[in-house]
Amino acid sequence: MEQSQTEIVADAPRGAVGTLPVLAFLSLVGGQLPSFTTRANLYTICLGGSMLWLGLAGRARRPLPARLGAGTAWWLVPVAIFGVFEGSTFLLGSMAEYPTFSKLADPLLEDELLRSVGYFAWLGGFWALVRR
Amino acid sequence: MSLTRSLAIAGFLAAIVAFAVVEVLARRKGSTIPTLGDVCAHVMAYEVGRIPVGRIGFFGFWWWLGWHLFAR
């Protein structure tokens, strides 16, 4: 039998206990770096690159869940709503009167605490994808 | 605040609420709706030959999203 190089990890909560403080620390650091700076660019590029490397190395994946059914189509509802508004605001130039999602988020992300929270959500999502 | 700006904010909020509602419905016992994580896992499992196209696509998109929001 061919042996898979991928280690299947089913006990996600145990792994999360050690990971969350690391992600929180990285988020606090990221929250201190304002946009449009070299430091912020390097930080997101290095963090994302590390996550990409971890994800493609594939050492800690969960087993693939059961086959998807017809209920999957329900996910098209939120995706379509977001797509319509993001697409239309982008095509109309993302003006202040009709802004894209990221333009709406920019003033919120200027606050260091909210920026750290945003970083934590981004890194947490990235880590969840890495483990899939 | 202009009407169009309010419309954009309401639209994005509606999308976020819809994501949350579908996720809650998916987590109910006996639900036929898969969770967002399960959907992502299946898309990420897509490969062309030995190239993990699904994983590269998801990681690439998420990487760009973080850079776009926090660095650009």
Beta bridge partners of residue A8, listed in sequence order: A61
**Coil vs helix vs strand at B1:** coil
Query: B62 vs A45: CB contact, 8 Å cut-off?
Result: no
Chain B contact for A69 (CB, 8 A cutoff): yes
CA distance B49 to chain A (A): 15
The closest of A36, A30, A31 to A50, measured between CA atoms, is A30
Residue the block writes with tokens 């609420």? B17
Nearest 5°: phi and psi at A67?
-55, 140
Quote the CA–CA distance of B22 and B27 in Å, as a whole number. Answer: 9
Q: Which residues of B touch A98 (CB under 8 A)?
A: 4-5, 7-8
CB B22 within 8 A of CB A77: yes
Give residue A9's pLDDT band: very low, low, confident or very high (50, 70, 90).
very low
- Cα separations in angstroms, A116 against A30, A36, A112, B10, B67: 6, 16, 6, 25, 14
CB A43 within 8 A of CB A26: no
Query: B9 vs A72: CB contact, 8 Å cut-off?
Result: no
Q: Is the confidence metric ipTM above 0.85 for this complex? A: yes
Interface of A with B in 13-42 (CB under 8 A): 30, 33, 35-37, 40-41
Amino acid at A38: T
**Coil vs helix vs strand at A98:** strand
Q: Which residues of A touch B68 (CB under 8 A)?
A: 102
* Mean pLDDT confidence for A74-100: 95
CA distance A126 to chain B (A): 7
Q: What is the pLDDT of residues A25-58, one digit of tens each?
A: 999 999 999 988 999 999 999 999 999 999 988 6
- Domain segments of chain A: what residues? 12-63+112-130
Quote the CA–CA distance of A78 and A101 in Å, as a whole number. Answer: 14
Q: What is chain B's alpha carbon radius of gyration, rounded to the nearest angstrom?
A: 17
Quote the CA–CA distance of A38 and B71 in Å, as a whole number. Answer: 8
Q: What is the pLDDT of residues B37-72, one digit of tens each?
A: 999 999 998 999 989 999 999 999 999 999 999 998
Q: Which among A122, A123, A131 is the top mutation candidate for probing chain B, defined by the most B β-carbons within 10 Å of its own β-carbon?
A: A122
Is 70 exceeded by the pLDDT of residue B36? yes
Give residue A12's pLDDT band: very low, low, confident or very high (50, 70, 90).
very low
Q: Among A75, A85, A105, whose Cβ lies nearest the Cβ of B69?
A: A105
The closest of A53, A48, A55, A59 to A123, measured between CA atoms, is A48
Quote the CA–CA distance of B70 and A29 in Å, as a whole number. Answer: 12
The helix (H) or strand (E) run that includes residue B21 is helix B3-26
Q: Which residues of A touch B34 (CB under 8 A)?
A: 65, 68-69, 71-72
Neighbours of A78 (CB within 10 A): 20
- Whole-model pTM over 0.95: no
